[in-house]
Amino acid sequence: MVEVRPRVGVSGCLLGSPVRYNGGHSRCRFLTDELAEYVQWAQTCPEAEIGLGVPRPMVRLLSDGRLVAKDGPADHSRAVAELAERSSPGWGELDGFVVKARSPSCGLFGVPRYSAGLPGERTDGQPVDHRGRGAFTAALTAACPDLPVEEDGRLNDPGLREHFVERLFAHARLRGLLSGGWSAGDLVAFHSRHELQIMAHDPQGCRESGGIVARAGASREETARQYRRVFARALAVRPSRGRHVDALQHVFGLLSARLNRPCRLDLLETISAFEAGLVPLSLPVALLRHHAVSRELPYVAGQTYLDPYPRELRLRHYL
């Protein structure tokens, strides 16, 4: 299978572009120093793209979702909606998006919202709540509900970071498959390689996607549409430690007949140590992968669960 480089949309200020209202940036080191080597960025700055320029007056989000000037009467909501409409054809080519936290245009969660003058709202100039979504990101997530979207602050959490990156690479592989002249056999091979990875996230989604693959052939377009949706939604479920343990034990079960007793005991002990939080996920995964490769078991060795993204990112060292 040809590995495809993920295409990732990003708030430009996170890559160090000086596009903030004050001419500064909000460079995110994980993106620029670690992830950049493995992905292709599609950067945007919604406020600059709607013509506000740099530097520019500050904007704020209102409780009714409008994006307006902090001081003055300007309402930029229509311009953002038009930008979203122009950009949306390109969103289908993306494997994910990283947005700037708390921005009234780009934030994903917890953006401060100010009074739109609705009955009962405070009038002292303070936010009415911190439950908003930036105007541009709201349009993005409404148009692409299955696209992995994260914000820079949450990427500091090792679990959220690993989950997001895993989804980027899985989306890219599926995009690579479906954008070519694929056959039902290609989809079967893709699903077979991803089976344990999907199962670790969502066993029900794994069964559902397997059913779509089994029925593949009637309408390629409909099959692709259904598989893409179920695959994305299954991977959007964050795997618990228990689900990882189930997946590791499943891999162990596929290998055990080919292993001697000391190897089996060593693996079981390592999986138990991961379950108890004594060793990171990277350890049992590396051992299982090693045994699968050395015993020449291609079905197991080829499982994306054991190799979901470039190892150099070392994200499972912290799970």
Choose between 48 and 245: whose C-beta lies nearer to ligand SF4. Answer: 48
The pair phi, psi for residue 206, each rounded to 5°, is -65, -45
Name the residue type at position 216. Answer: A
Output 31 or 48, the one with its CB closest to ligand SF4.
Answer: 48
Residue 259 phi/psi, 5-degree rounding, is -115, 150
Q: Which residues lie below 8 Å from residue 185, measured CB to CB, with a gap of 6+?
A: none
Spell out the alpha helix ranges (H) of the chain: 29, 46-49, 77-91, 135-143, 158-178, 184-201, 203-214, 220-235, 241-255, 261-275, 282-294, 298-301
Query: Of residues 4, 8, 15, 19, which one binds ligand SF4 by CB under 6 A?
Result: 19
Nearer to ligand SF4, 152 or 208 (CB): 152
Out of 28, 39, 47, 87, the residue judged to bind ligand SF4 by CB under 6 A:
47
Whether omega before 298 lies within 30 degrees of 0, making that bond cis, reads: no
Q: How many residues bind ligand SF4 (CB under 6 A)?
A: 13
Is residue 20 part of the contact set for ligand SF4 (CB under 6 A)?
yes
Cβ of residue 50: shortest distance to ligand SF4, in angstroms? Answer: 9
Both tokens of 188, joined, read 């079967």
- Binding range to ligand SF4, per CB under 6 A, among 10-18, 153-161, 176-184, 275-283: 10-18
Q: Which stretch binds ligand SF4 (CB under 6 A): 34-42, 43-51, 190-198, 265-273?
A: 43-51
**Nearest distance in Å: CB 45, ligand SF4:** 3
d(CA 50, CA 79): 6
Angle at 10 between CA 54 and CA 83, to 5 degrees: 65
Examine residue 67 and tell whether it contacts ligand SF4 (CB under 6 A): no
Asked if 200 is part of the footprint of ligand SF4 (rule: CB under 6 A), the reply reads no
Residue 156 or 240: which CB sits closer to ligand SF4? 156
Contacting range for ligand SF4; rule: CB under 6 A; set: 8-16, 82-90, 277-285, 286-294:
8-16
Looking at residues 102 to 141 of the shown chain, list those that interact with ligand SF4 (rule: CB under 6 A): 103, 105-106
Cβ distance to ligand SF4 smaller for residue 6 or 104: 104
- Provide the token pair at 218: 């009637």
> DSSP assignment, residue 75?
B
Give the shortest CB-60-to-ligand SF4 separation in angstroms.
Answer: 12
CB-based contacts of 96: which residues, under 8 Å, 6+ apart?
6, 8, 9, 147, 148, 149, 150, 164, 167, 168, 171
32, burial (CB in 10 Å: exposed 0-12, middle 13-18, buried 19+)? middle
Which range of residues in 39-47, 71-79, 125-133, 275-283 is near ligand SF4 by CB under 6 A?
A: 39-47
Residue 12 touches ligand SF4, criterion: CB under 6 A: yes
Please report, as residue ranges, which positions from 221 to 250 form the binding site for ligand SF4 (by CB under 6 A): none
The reply on whether position 46 binds ligand SF4 by CB under 6 A is yes
CB 111 within 8 Å of CB 24: no
Q: Which is nearer to ligand SF4, 136 or 305 (CB)?
A: 136
Q: Which residues bind ligand SF4 (CB under 6 A)?
A: 11-13, 19-20, 45-48, 100, 103, 105-106
